[in-house]
Amino acid sequence: MTNRLKLDFTISSLEERTSFVDNYLIENKEIFDIKPLTEKELETIANYILWGKDKNGKNVNQLKEIQLETRNKTWDRKKEESLDALIESPAFKESMIKNYSAQTRVRKESFSRSQARKEAPPYILERYEELWREIDALDLMINYYDLAHGKRKNPPRESLLNRFTPEEQEKLKEKASHLNQFSYLKKRHLLVELRREQFTLRDSYKSQVSRTTVEAYTPPTTSFFDTEIPVLPLGLCNNQPIDKKIFPLNHIPEPQDFSEKELREVSSRIWKSPAQPKLCFDFREMEHIYKAFQIYENLVDESITADVESTLHLFITTLNFYIQFANLTPLQMDILRQKISKQKNQDIALFINKKYNKTYNANYISTIFRQKIIAAINKAAALHYEIMTNIFFPENFKKCKQCGRTLLLTSDNFVRKTKSKDGFVSRCKQCDKKNRQEKK
């Protein structure tokens, strides 16, 4: 069948392509009213717009906002992750780094749902049931597609069909009939990812046996905050007068905020335990924050009914302080709230895309949560500790002449200037950026 669309591919700009499509649809309205655009034609028009370049000469595929269909419809390979990117992941352990030069061939391991139902903790089992439902639905939909396109001869196995009602089977068959080659490959790719997640969940509660170490995962509980386990880097916000200075709500701690007596209290708190204990909670650790968010709602509920001696409410207050100190964007705060309430990444993506006019997928929501939101909170805790360890030395701070804030005298806060007395410019980077934007 010949292509009746007459799209102008000499236009490269995203804005110009959008304008061209608007005019093109209006001019050919009578033709398309008689014979409406097919799903394939609509997809072609959408891809035509999305391949357009922005002001910086990049399309949405290059900006990694959405993965577009390539000419030969093959699945784009992911870039190899660097060692630094792997280390940033909360699930990374040093035992994962092995010498594979002498590895023997390992038989492919199968996953047992019945065994998982016996061994998995309740909060993991709940996620398992949701995951298995998604896997089965995708598996059956792909089977229907393969049958319709001659990729398989045998009908779907009976054990899979029995997991769905006849009405649900018909709906999945209808969805399969609307798949094209590209969306079919995407479904298959997603099925592989979901099946991998089964093993990831299993590894979180089952002992891992390797050639070097044997590690057992301890499920996150809420009771450890009521014990004598220290909280780093600066303890909990105890609502004492000194804590209001160390954990201020609306500004960064400054040397002039503290009297000599208060500085002695700060000193005793910082240098109380110079060596980091083996068992602790550290706001600078990505995995610690990640686990805290996994049980955040449980922590809040238990803090309400806990004993007077409980420190749960203090932990919640301290965590909220570091969330605020991280200065997250409104979009990141929305993702964080959704993750805390245990929403699925797919549902979060739909919410964010609708509210902020984005095209994020479920995987990118997970990336934002782990590598941007949690990382920002870790960085905020590390910065807070650095500020408090320098609070005794006013010469290590500088006041911005424009906004009046007193900040650490580092290249993170001020641009370097060799001719200046202290080696930095008089305005902070935030004000400098604001001035440049106003000039534009």
Asked if 236 and 375 sit in the same domain, the reply is yes
Q: What is the pLDDT of residue 90?
A: 57
33 has a pLDDT exceeding 90 = no
82 has a pLDDT exceeding 90 = no
Q: Is residue 233 part of a domain?
A: yes
Asked if 387 and 359 sit in the same domain, the reply is yes
Residues 6 or more apart in contact with residue 150 via CB below 8 angstroms: none
CA distance 268 to 265: 5
Which residue range is the domain that position 165 belongs to?
Answer: 113-215
What pLDDT band is residue 220 in, cutting at 50, 70 and 90? very low
Asked if 206 and 258 sit in the same domain, the reply is no
Asked if 386 and 403 sit in the same domain, the reply is no
Asked if 332 and 426 sit in the same domain, the reply is no
Which is nearest to 205 in space by CA: 273, 123, 96, 308?
Answer: 123
Q: Is residue 107 part of a domain?
A: no
83 has a pLDDT exceeding 60 = no
Compute the mean pLDDT over every residue in the chain, rounded to the nearest whole number: 81
- As a whole number of Å, the CA-based R_g of the chain is 28
Among 152, 187, 215, the domain boundary falls at 215
Burial class of residue 340 in the structure, from the number of CB atoms within 10 Å of its CB (0-12 exposed, 13-18 middle, 19+ buried) = middle
Q: What are phi and psi of 356, to 5 degrees?
A: -110, 10
The conformation of residue 371, written as its DSSP 8-state character, comes to I
- Higher-pLDDT residue of 101 and 121 is 121
190 has a pLDDT exceeding 90 = no
Q: What are phi and psi of 399, to 5 degrees?
A: -95, 130
89 has a pLDDT exceeding 60 = no
- Higher-pLDDT residue of 99 and 112 is 112
Asked if 247 and 183 sit in the same domain, the reply is no
Number of domains in the chain: 4
Mean pLDDT, to the nearest integer, of 217-236? 60
Among 215, 245, 280, the domain boundary falls at 215
Q: Is residue 101 part of a domain?
A: no
Mean pLDDT, to the nearest integer, of 82-96? 55
Collapsing DSSP to helix, strand or coil, 208 comes out as strand
β strands within 108-168, DSSP E: none
Q: Is residue 86 part of a domain?
A: no
Asked if 240 and 369 sit in the same domain, the reply is yes
- The tokens describing 228, both together, are 């004598």
Residue carrying structure tokens 């949405």: 60
Among 215, 236, 270, the domain boundary falls at 215
Asked if 15 and 161 sit in the same domain, the reply is no
Q: What is the pLDDT of residue 294?
A: 87
Asked if 230 and 362 sit in the same domain, the reply is yes
Task: Return the H-helix or E-strand segment holding 175.
Answer: helix 166-177
Asked if 242 and 303 sit in the same domain, the reply is yes
Q: Is residue 74 part of a domain?
A: no
Q: Is residue 84 part of a domain?
A: no
Question: Position 246: which residue type?
Answer: I
239 has a pLDDT exceeding 50 = yes
- How far, CA to CA in Å, does 293 sit from each of 222, 310, 367? 11, 19, 15
91 has a pLDDT exceeding 70 = no
Q: Are the C-beta atoms of residues 149 and 132 closer than 8 Å to each other?
A: no
What pLDDT band is residue 265 in, cutting at 50, 70 and 90? confident
Burial class of residue 368 in the structure, from the number of CB atoms within 10 Å of its CB (0-12 exposed, 13-18 middle, 19+ buried) = buried
Q: Residue 301 CB: number of other CB atoms within 10 A? A: 13
Q: Is residue 258 part of a domain?
A: yes
Percent of the chain with pLDDT over 70: 82
Asked if 377 and 434 sit in the same domain, the reply is no
What pLDDT band is residue 291 in, cutting at 50, 70 and 90? confident
pTM of the model: 0.50
Asked if 241 and 139 sit in the same domain, the reply is no
What pLDDT band is residue 71 in, cutting at 50, 70 and 90? low
What pLDDT band is residue 422 in, cutting at 50, 70 and 90? confident
Q: Is residue 88 part of a domain?
A: no
- Higher-pLDDT residue of 88 and 345 is 345
